[in-house]
Each structure stands twice: as C-alpha cells, then as structure tokens.
Structure 1
C-alpha cells in the first residue's frame, strides 16, 4: 500500500479555503497511491463557541460530496478531519473516503479540554478493510491513551491512522506516543499533523510520521508544509509477531460490546 502524508497549514473557520487546498492535493496525488492522509479538522480548522455549529456539516453535505468526486476521479482513498453535524450534535470526526463512499467514520472519543464544551465525544472504535488491509482511525489526543490503539488492534487493525492537530509545546508527546502505540500493538501507525499558526496564537508542531510494527520511524516531516510518500511493506507485521504476539499474549481484555457489520466494519462500543 502506497500512502501519502499531506502536511499542510490551514485557516481556522475557513472551509472554502481549506477544502480547495485539500481537493488540489488529491488531484496532485501520484497515480499509484492508495491512500492520502490529512490533519485533524482539515476541512474547517479549529472551531470556537461562535462558529462551531456553522462549520459543522453532515456526511451528505457539500464538502464530503466534493471529496467523494475527487477520490473517484483519482481512484484513491482519503482520510480527512471535519466537524460533523448529526442529530443536533457536533462531533470532531475523521472520515475514510473511498471511491465507493464513506467507508469509515470515527468520532473522537478523548476530547482535549478546550473542545469539551464545543463537541460531543464519540462512543466507539472501528476498523474497516481498504485494498486488503484493515485500517483503524484515531484523532489527536486519542493517541495518548494506550487503550485506544489496543481497541483498534483487537478489531484487527494492521494500520492505525491519526489525524492530528497538535501544537507547541506538545509535539514530542505525540511522536513518542505514536512510536509506543505502533510497537506495543505490532502495527503500522501513521500520523499527519497540521503546521503553521491558528487562532489564539497556536503554533502547530508538524512532525507527521510513519512508524512500523517494531516501533521504528520510517519517515518524518519537519515543521513546514510538505508531502511524504511511502510504500508500506505489510510483511513487517508477520516479522514483528514471529516470536511473540502482544495481542495474543495479553491477559487483560478490553470491555465493551463488539459488532460485526455486513460491509466489513468492526466496532467496539465504549462501556
């Protein structure tokens, strides 16, 4: 699987600008790429109390429809962050969009203190297959909790994708956490973070990266806009688990109801 990490600056509260740049990045992807990954709330930037409901869109809204047209044109999958409006609630969500539609939606389960009055926390973890590999999603602060990645691994994830919006001085925290989550679950872990500045003087830390199942950093970005491309060798999964398998050997299981869906999604509901 060939992945592209698209590390960009964004404008808080400016969906038109962010969407246009995201669509341009998709149009410019390599012809043999399978998956493009963007940052947390890529489409609208970070919200505030005055604009959070105006920025939120449903899954059948214009931004998702524009993205769907773009991925169909390029025959690629895209992971993108957005504010999702659903049944009167707003969620910090990430969507895995394939030419067939929204293959997977994840609503951030661990909210950063500044967003707890703005959005509703999600209630489940989920994975789905894309081109023969099972993928799970997390968002930003989620990666600091070992149980989140373990939940995805228990659902069969081989690749964990993190939409990130991490700022100074916390950049090293997520780099270290990404390495730990990959190694302790023996999976690939991929993070795309935002760069540049945001409202309130936030300075985003960049550092988008891919880590293999041994916890080795395969590629890593700096603090500027860039695009990294890498082909993942999933034989590394078997190599990492050849002599020991953390998931199989673990004696503590995670609580929660497990669901299997006809479309291949697997979910673990939070208790």
Structure 2
C-alpha cells in the first residue's frame, strides 16, 4: 500500500488557493499511489472568527465535490481537512474520499484552546474498511490524548490517519505522540502537518511522519514543503501482535456505545 504525505503551506481563509494546490497534488500523484494525505483544514486553512461563516462548507459543498471528482479521475483516495458547515454549526472535519465517494468522515473531538467557541467538538470516533484495511482518522490535538487513538484501536483500526496543524514550539510533542499512538495500538500511523506561516504569526512545524506498528519511524519530513510516498508492509500488523496484543490484553475498556453498521463502519459514541 502506497501513501503519499503531502506537506504544504496553506493560506488561512483562502479556499481558492488551497483547493487549487490540493487538486494539483492529486493530479500529479504517482500512478501507483493508493492514498494522498493532506494537513488539517487543508481546504480553508484556519479561518478566523470573521472568515469562518463565509468559507465553511457542507460535506456536499463545491470544494469537497471538486476533490471527489479529482479522486475519481486519478483512481486514488484522498484524506483532506476542511471547515464544515452543518446547518450553521461548524466543525473541524477530515474526510476520506475514495473514487466511489466519501469512505469516512470525522469531526475533531478534542479542540485546541483557540478553536473553542469557533467549532463544536465531534461526538464519536469511527473506523471504516478501505482497500482491505480498517482505517480511522484523528486530527491534530487528538493525538496528544491517548484515549482518542485507543478508541480507534478498540474499533479495530490498523491504520490511523492524522491531519495535522501543529505549530511551534510544539513540534516535538507530536513527534513523540504519534510514535506512542502507533506503538501502543500496534497500528500504522500517518501524520501530515502544515508548514510556513499562518494567521496571527503562527509558524507551523512540519515534521509529517509515518510510523510502523512497532512505533518505529518509517519517514519524517523537515520544515519545508514536500511530498513523500511511504509503502506500508501490511504483514507488520500481524508481526507486531504475534507475541503480545495490547488490545486483547487490556483490562480497561473505553466507555460509550459501540455501533456496527452493515457497510463495515464502526463507531464509538462519546458518552
């Protein structure tokens, strides 16, 4: 399985610019790419309070529809973040788009302090079967709380995808966190961050990374824009759980109703 990490510099509140760069990356991906992963809120950037109502879109809005068309044309899947408008309620959302349509969407459950009052938190974790592997999505600050990744592990996740918008001086925090989340859930983890400057002088830390189920770094980016393909050896999932299986051996389980859907989706509702 080949996953392309697309570490870009975005423009906050400038959907036209961000969408153009997203579509360009999809159009120029390698022929054997299975999935492209972009940063947190890739399509709108981090819109401020004055911009959010103007730029946020529903999941069937024009920007995500354009991404879906590009995914179909290239026969590739795409994980992309956006500011979601659901009937006037705003969410920091990331969506896994396959050539067939939306495979999985996730609303950030752990909001960074600056997001509180702008976005509402999501109320569930979810996984879906995609290309024969069970995947789940987290967003940025989520990975600093081990229960978020554990919820995906409890739902059977084998690949944890993280759209990230981490800024200085917190880059080392997410480097440590993404390695720990992969190792403790014995799953692959792929995290893609922004670079460059944003609103209010924020400087994004880059450091996009791919981690194997043993917690080992497969790839780590620097602080500049880059595109890098990692190949996942799915046999490592079984190897990591051969001698011991953290999910089977644990004695504490996360609370919340677990829902199994006929299409293979699994959800853990936050109580």
Same fold, TM-score > 0.5, yes or no: yes
| Per-residue CA distance 1:72-121 (angstroms, 9 max, x = gap) | 00111000000011122000000000011111110000000000010100
What secondary structure sits across from 2:70 in the alignment? Answer: helix
Give the structure 2 partner of residue 89 of structure 1. 89
Report what 1:57 is aligned to: 57
Correspondence for 1:189: 189
| 1:70 aligned residue | 70
Alignment pair present for 1:203 and 2:203 = yes
Aligned mates of 1:224, 1:190 — CA distance in 2: 18
* TM superposition shift of 1:53: 1.1
SS of 1:182 mapped into structure 2? helix
**Structure 1: 5+ residue runs without aligned partners?**
none
Q: How many residues align?
A: 271
- Are 1:17 and 2:9 counterparts? no
| Alignment of structure 1 residues 118-267 onto 2, 5 Å | 118-267=118-267
In the alignment, what sits opposite 2:39?
39
Runs of at least 4 residues of structure 1 off by over 6 A? Answer: none
Q: Deviations over 1:58-85 (max 9, x none)?
A: 0111001100100000111000000011
Structure 2: state its 5+ residue gaps: none
Deviations 1:107-164 (A, max 9, x none): 0000000000101000000001111011000000000000000100111100000000
